[in-house]
Amino acid sequence: MPPSGIRRRPGGRSARVRATVLAAVDALLAEVGDEGLTLDAVAERSGVHRTTLYRRWGSVPMLLVDLLDAGTEDDWRAPDTGSLEGDLVAINREVHAALTAEPSVTAAVVAASFRSPEAGEALRRFWEDRYERCAAVVHRAVERGEVPPGTDPRRLLVAATGPLYHQRILLGGPLTREEADAHARAARAAAASGLL
């Protein structure tokens, strides 16, 4: 990229640098976890100079903040399998995969969120965005008559996914895919009975 390119397409180059750096952060989290995430490691991995990283992001927690905020700008959509049970099982399998990856980017980001208030707020923004997108699953289930109209989308989604996060992140226990499926089916059945 010649210097003239910077002048002609500052947004384009800036966006590419951001994408390159965030991809490096994501890869490092998946390989070494948040303990191994340093500005030097990100500079080496991304090929972007440490000074640039420092000037633009300032610190490792702010890199995580940007990674999480970038997640709220992606085109992820909740699964649409045709049934509430299918959708909840699909969501829980995504959560299961994220939580049981070794090392888990999700677990690394959660750990970082307890060390940096900014990272904590970014993680909550990211999750709020994901739960809002998942509400579509519950709206469709209400339209299909699978759950009563008063069903609270957030409460139902937290009933399905919350046990996975608790078991894996706070209790630090094993989590099988069968267990993730069971919690999805349990939440669906309770919601169908008007309990959520």
Point out which residues bind its own copies (CB under 8 A).
110-111, 114-115, 120, 124, 127-128, 131, 155, 158-159, 161-167, 169-172, 179, 182-183, 185-187, 189-191, 193, 195-196
* Minimum distance, C-beta of residue 18 to its own copies, in the bound complex (Å): 26
Nearest distance from residue 26's CB to its own copies, in Å? Answer: 20
Least distance to its own copies, CB of residue 123, Å: 8
Q: Smaller CB distance to its own copies: residue 43 or 109?
A: 109
Q: How far is the CB of 73 from its own copies (least distance, A)?
A: 20
AA identity, residue 47: G
Comparison of 23 and 195: residue with beta carbon closer to its own copies? 195
Helix, strand, coil % over all residues of the chain, rounded to 5: 75, 0, 25
Q: How far apart are the first and last CA of the chain?
A: 55
Burial class of residue 143 (count of CB atoms within 10 Å of its CB; 0-12, 13-18, 19+): exposed
Nearer to its own copies, 11 or 149 (CB): 149
CA–CA distance, 109 with 68 (Å, rounded to integer): 9
CB of 137 to its own copies, least distance (A): 16
Closer of 49 and 115 to its own copies (Cβ): 115
- Whether the CB-CB separation of 99 and 149 falls below 8 Å is answered with no
Q: Which CB, 45 or 155, lies closer to its own copies?
A: 155
191, 156 in Cβ contact below 8 A? Answer: yes
Residue 4: how many other CB atoms lie within 10 Å: 8
Q: Name the nearest CA neighbour of 193 among 167, 165, 159, 164.
A: 159
